Amino acid sequence: MIISKTGRVAFLDGIRGLLAATVAINHIIGSLYGWGFRPFNGAYLAVNYFFILSGFVLSLTYRSEIPWIKYICLRLFRLWPLHFITTLGMFLIYAYNKGHGRYVPDFNIFDLKIFLLNVGFMHGILPSNFPLFNDPSWSISIEFWLSIMLIPVLIRFNTVGKFILFFTSYMYFLIFNAGGVGNIDHYFGLLSGISGISLGAFMYDVRNRGFSLYSVMKPSHANYMIYSAFIFVLVGIYSQDHNRLDFLYIVAFIPLMLIEDSDLYPNLLSRLLSSAPLQWMGYISFSLYLIHSSVIVSGISSPHGHFLSLVIEMTAAIFLSTVTCELFEQPSYRFLKARLNLGRIR
């Protein structure tokens, strides 16, 4: 695997950056053109891909010798500060909008209980859901709880056990959820996280055991499989529409976890995903994922048409995400992590 200068798996960061961008573009287009079928309609698949990536990366970085309490703090420090500040930002924007006759959601934004549930990572965990200030944050809540409860257990499973958990959870999802993986009603969001993280952990085991597509087929055929899977995933993100076909797009993501690139097995997709622009997008992806909604509801737009508004809002989201990542997300995580004396852990 190609490791970036920051010690991360480079091509996975590139994938994460692309996925975060598709989610932001999808939501901005929906806010401008309407929430019916639209370009990047299947960007909800990206959330499931995020879970898979998290399962893989956390399996790579988790250290069993870390005391569990310290590990909980580590995950909390990574996810909660940005989650809190973006949720607070959404509240302040809504409060301003309410006083100026602009868009506010159809719930009481001043309900303290709802706010505390939002910032407390409770969405998807409680028996019933509640209104969200920042819609994308539901998956961050689920990732937090699964990262501290499921990952320490998963690393003790053998490869077959991880596959069984992935397979049974996805089959349950497939049979009982005709709305596809985008349906997060009741416990389906949590189940989506369990299945995605267990798949990611399984794929980490597969790679860690030395499996390579290039060892079971010709290198050119392996590359064609990976390129085809990537194109298929992009088609799903662009046009999928909440049905059971979602599960085929989840399976199509698996070859992307087996990307290799070397002088012996050159792979153009790996080099694209590891390029500086996509590494930068991967670097700001968490901020972009949580900040773009605030740009949408802030009313930043152009009087000269929706397309120009789309360009302005996406540019603003990327700019604000870069600033937030550099000045808050990463510094706060480094500072808090240093208090645990875990500087070598991501």
pLDDT digits (tens, 9 = 90+) for 228-278: 999 999 999 999 998 989 999 999 999 999 998 877 788 999 999 999 999
| pTM for this predicted structure | 0.94
> Does residue 334 register a pLDDT over 80?
yes
* Per-residue model confidence (pLDDT) at position 260: 87
Query: How far is the CA of 13 from the CAs of 8, 159, 280, 344, in angstroms?
Result: 7, 24, 9, 18
Query: What is the Cα gyration radius of the chain?
Result: 20
Considering only residues 210 and 236, tell me which one the structure prediction assigns the higher pLDDT: 236
Q: What is the mean pLDDT of residues 108-121?
A: 96
Over 70: is that where the pLDDT of 1 sits?
no
First to last CA, the chain: 17
pLDDT, position 6: 52
- Cβ atoms of 183 and 190 closer than 8 Å: no
Q: Which two tokens stand for residue 120?
A: 């407390």
Three-state DSSP state, 12: helix
| pLDDT value at 226 more than 50 | yes
Extract the tokens encoding 243. 């049905």
Tell me which of 17-31, 192-206, 250-264 is least confident.
250-264
Q: Which pLDDT band, with edges at 50, 70 and 90, does 5 fall under? A: very low
DSSP helix/strand/coil, 9: strand
Q: Is the pLDDT of residue 4 over 70?
A: no
DSSP state at residue 8: S
CA distance 56 to 196: 10
Residue/partner pairs of 217-222 with CB below 8 Å, 24 or more apart: 219/264, 219/265, 222/265
Is the pLDDT at 84 greater than 90? The verdict is yes
The amino acid present at 161, given as its one-letter code, is G
